[in-house]
Structure 1
């Protein structure tokens, strides 16, 4: 039976009331309203269960009610069922349970595309490119990914049996009995020195409770290799744990530097957050890459650095999520989060998207009087990229630079990558690039590793994807009935770089992949070029 969320629009059930005791802080009138709403919801459930024409599934009905209730508050207040809550906890804590693989269906066969380092799967010897034929004795051919994920997942201490066909080096079938366990889920995907420079590069996929540890560890490693500048890539990073974000920022500031003002109704949440220790990397030059999917904690990270002129912000306007949520867990393994506050950066800048996105603002008169002609020109150019708005509030950075307040973080330097066409998108979505690379590595992996060993720099410089290789890929794609010569010609150079990057990914992981893709990545190239003008852009004297 399909449940209409409007049917259950109210609602805190007795699960919430029993799980959290806030009676002492609620006045009697509010408490009576809550108690009445709970009884009202209970009565509606009982009537629906007794008289509705279909059999009622109470947990599903209640879940729909909770989701509708929290969504009516704001779009960032969310109820999580057990599976959703487990994933949220994994992402936030940096820990997970299971065996530690990521799978996708390629040619009707589930294929391992990622083995998390130091996970049970890694310890057992599973590899990227392995094809899963059986799970616990059941055929996995044409099995849905969601079904396979459920079968592979399980409680720590239990085991899963996998029958694997290894793509690389043999056609024999192998049995793996892998014991599920806890393992670390890294938030830092890549960290290396860009070749022939002293510039470090870090790619962060999210901010978990362990992100600051990962950053500190890799800052130390890269510094030993001579790093004097760091690029932090936050593109696609939707945020995460606030405390880890502020701890990571503390590396770049003196102790007790103001990082964030949190404005909340509840006094215990209303606070100012300062840097927690004396940063070891206060002199390190920084550039931060952002895009439209850099949100929340990513916007804090970029916004604070921008306010203090501690780094160049390069890329696209960010997501505009400037609210703070707190998570509560329930006794039945579910949970929910509530928006408790809104934050502002040290300059007083609000990150949250304005409620009236079409509103036209007047600029601060002081800006018109005091800004140089160059500053006015720069601001006008930035305004052109903000959806046609005419005027915006302006704040100043520590060095007196003017920045726009429009929600989110407006980069110091706007940059976007070239778009890929529909042929490339289809080939990517269906996994044909990846499948072709796995087929290629079936016979070539050992030879490539023997030649290049751990040196992905050497591979990037010497290995060529020639036209014969591309023609082989064209034949492969035609066998899948997906091709368009005109679109191929448009994206031919992207094909060349992307196929090479996928080979590097399978040999050296994210570091290899990111190293190769930098040749196509215009945002990275813009950052590298802009770092030559670091002091002048940030007005450092």
Structure 2
């Protein structure tokens, strides 16, 4: 009995020590917070009082907040009151405005795209128009963001715009009534290559799941027997929409995604809670380096359940969940609260998301840092950043000359001129092609314009020269380098001919957009879209499709 009392006393003593230790740690933490807030406040006061120049309190405070949050991860952000509307647009896919996409080309503010049926189109604004005034105020020195803010506004209000148009000598004035603009999460769907349904999903805004569901139902009614779901370049969006879209292809009751973070009561497992559209239809999901977040959930779920094949490149690697927390003065904090895990148990968050390749990809992660998981059928998959495709397709991208022609606006401007010279033409997006004669016309048109560019090879030669100078070797290789530079320059003169196929492709899509807007651009791209072609090939080859979804012996 005495021994028992000693044990009890000992346990009580240990408990008291632990409680005191916990309280000390807790108090230390609170003291650190209070201390640092006091340091920050006094520093800010001294800076504001004695700094040699006038300080904008809002700007300097936002700079401090953003620098603090940037040290955590790229997705935890401060949203001040004046940017709340932009955040709502991202979440809901809706805003009050006129339905244009604005861009800047060589100092000109140009209408790059117009939503079909939007107020701008109804009023008569066209792609290629150069915006010069909004409500009688010149926009010459405005940024694209500033212009977009001026064009947006309360539904039912009016905005006056003045534009310059190709072939019209005097500026044109338009009075446009703002309306509710719904950003299309599914800008295109249709049957391609016979019985294959193609659905392009560009963002996971509110209603995206319903849009994909209705598109697939409609296409199945038209005879679709296979599906391509295109998530390339889709940055993600709302978590619940990724669950809705996954549910279209997997049975009700299956786990889709789980979230785990510091606040245990916020941890949750989400399951498919609706009847699917089709759990057996062959499916190919297109992904790219910039398919992120909700896109990766959908792609990962399809892979983990062996529900479809992933085609393209390794995805972005964003497995973090954000929530918004209200702050004072109508501002908000978008904060990372958890990581998400797909059905196999893997988290697709890139291990080191702060160091990426120029194209946004996460590059090669050492095998030692990866963990092995298995799909329902037993296929081996890995974590460590992004979802890897079952059928990889190298994204070759455009050559430097094509990029420069696009960047300078020459392809855009030529397409605009072509449209006004052929207004009555109604080209079929699938059948229209850039003829050799039309391409010769383009090369003649662009010949007197400055589209100089530097290739990656030239950048490497520049670095070689600098290194050779440092190493005192330049005198020995100067002639060889000069000869190489001369050879490259001679080849660049032939680039319009060498890369004409891809330049023709860019021209075709731009010209088609003048007649058929965004849907036409997408439809016209299928002919030269390698990932789409590979997906079609896999879906039409039952054996290869089946083999990709089976365990490799």
Is the structural similarity TM-score above 0.5? yes
Pairing partner for 2:226 from 226, 229, 253: 229
Listed one character per residue, the Cα deviations across residues 227-263 of structure 1 (whole Å, up to 9, x for unaligned) are 1211111111111110111111111111110111211
Matched, 1:494 2:464: no
Instruction: Report how far residue 302 of structure 1 moved.
Output: 0.4
Which range moves more in the overlay, 316-325 or 417-426?
417-426
For residues 371-386 of structure 1, the aligned pairs below 5 Å read 386=364
Q: Secondary structure at the match of 2:528?
A: coil
Q: Matched residue pairs, number? A: 478
Which range moves more in the overlay, 146-155 or 66-75?
146-155
Separation in 1, partners of 2:368, 2:382? 12
Instruction: Report how far residue 166 of structure 1 moved.
Output: 4.5
Change in 2 beyond 3 A, CA 1:72/1:406? closer
Aligned 8 A contact 2:259 2:339 in 1: yes
Pairing partner for 2:416 from 431, 434, 438: 438
Change in 2 beyond 3 A, CA 1:107/1:68? closer
1:315 corresponds to:
312
Aligned 8 A contact 1:109 1:140 in 2: no
Which range moves more in the overlay, 275-284 or 30-39?
30-39
For residues 421-432 of structure 1, the aligned pairs below 5 Å read 421-432=399-410
Separation in 1, partners of 2:120, 2:141? 22
Separation in 2, partners of 1:91, 1:144? 20
Q: Which runs of 5+ in 1 are unaligned?
A: 1-25, 359-384
Matched, 1:335 2:313: no
Normalization by structure 2: what TM-score?
0.80
1:10 corresponds to:
none
2:148 corresponds to:
149
Instruction: Report how far residue 83 of structure 1 moved.
Output: 4.8
Aligned 8 A contact 2:129 2:163 in 1: yes
Which range moves more in the overlay, 302-311 or 328-337?
328-337
1:536 corresponds to:
547
Aligned 8 A contact 2:365 2:384 in 1: no
1:410 corresponds to:
388
Matched, 1:269 2:262: no
1:513 corresponds to:
521
Change in 2 beyond 3 A, CA 1:56/1:391? closer
Which range moves more in the overlay, 431-440 or 84-93?
84-93
Aligned 8 A contact 1:417 1:521 in 2: no
Q: Secondary structure at the match of 1:41?
A: helix
Q: Which runs of 5+ in 2 are unaligned?
A: 1-24, 356-362, 453-491
Change in 2 beyond 3 A, CA 1:355/1:440? closer
2:181 corresponds to:
183
Separation in 1, partners of 2:74, 2:142? 34
Instruction: Report how far residue 146 of structure 1 moved.
Output: 4.3
Q: Secondary structure at the match of 1:188?
A: coil
Change in 2 beyond 3 A, CA 1:36/1:140? closer
Listed one character per residue, the Cα deviations across residues 375-396 of structure 1 (whole Å, up to 9, x for unaligned) are xxxxxxxxxx946757843322
Separation in 2, partners of 1:120, 1:331? 36
Which range moves more in the overlay, 349-358 or 132-141?
349-358
2:125 corresponds to:
126
2:113 corresponds to:
114
Matched, 1:419 2:419: no
1:5 corresponds to:
none
Q: Secondary structure at the match of 1:278?
A: coil
Change in 2 beyond 3 A, CA 1:489/1:183? same
Separation in 2, partners of 1:245, 1:330? 28
Listed one character per residue, the Cα deviations across residues 353-390 of structure 1 (whole Å, up to 9, x for unaligned) are 125999xxxxxxxxxxxxxxxxxxxxxxxxxx946757
Q: From the CA coordinates, give the structure whose radius of gyration is larger.
A: 2
Aligned 8 A contact 2:160 2:174 in 1: yes
Normalization by structure 1: what TM-score?
0.81
Matched, 1:527 2:538: no
The alignment yields a C-alpha RMSD, in angstroms, of 2.7
Separation in 2, partners of 1:329, 1:506? 43
2:487 corresponds to:
none
Q: Secondary structure at the match of 1:175?
A: strand
Pairing partner for 1:470 from 421, 425, 439: 439
Aligned 8 A contact 2:325 2:334 in 1: yes
Aligned 8 A contact 2:259 2:340 in 1: yes
Which range moves more in the overlay, 510-519 or 471-480?
510-519
Change in 2 beyond 3 A, CA 1:273/1:84? same
